[in-house]
Amino acid sequence: MTTIDLETTKDQARKLLDSRIESVTNLVIARKRVDELREQLATAQREDKKAYVRATKDGWSEDELKKLGLEAGGVAKRRSRRANADSGIAEGPAEATTTN
């Protein structure tokens, strides 16, 4: 019968746990990076919106900006939602309704 060495068993268990801890550590680092990039994207989108509004206040029309390849980002989307809500037009695909 083979004798089980306590220290050897502990070392093997630590190696197994270390690899599991490493994978969770990598996951946490990746999630933090995603959160940071989302925050940077949100900041960039706010800056883009402000710059677009500033350009229109400086006399650029939406058509002129569009011809330059500078279409409205969130600004136009927000306006169209309001316009659609005011006119009673639903946005997006119509939801199926069932009656029993």
**pLDDT tens by residue, 51-86:** 999 999 999 999 999 999 999 976 544 445 555 555
Amino acid present at 64 = E
CA dist 48 to 28, 29, 36, 59, 67, Å? 30, 28, 18, 17, 17
CA separation for the pair 21, 66 (Å, rounded): 51
Mean of all residue pLDDT scores within the chain? 83
pLDDT tens digit string along 28-40?
Answer: 999 999 999 999 9
Q: What is the pTM of this model?
A: 0.57
Region for 92 from its dihedrals, namely left if φ exceeds 0, alpha if ψ lies in -120 to 50, beta otherwise? left
Domain limits of the chain?
39-79
Q: What percent of the chain has pLDDT over 70?
A: 72
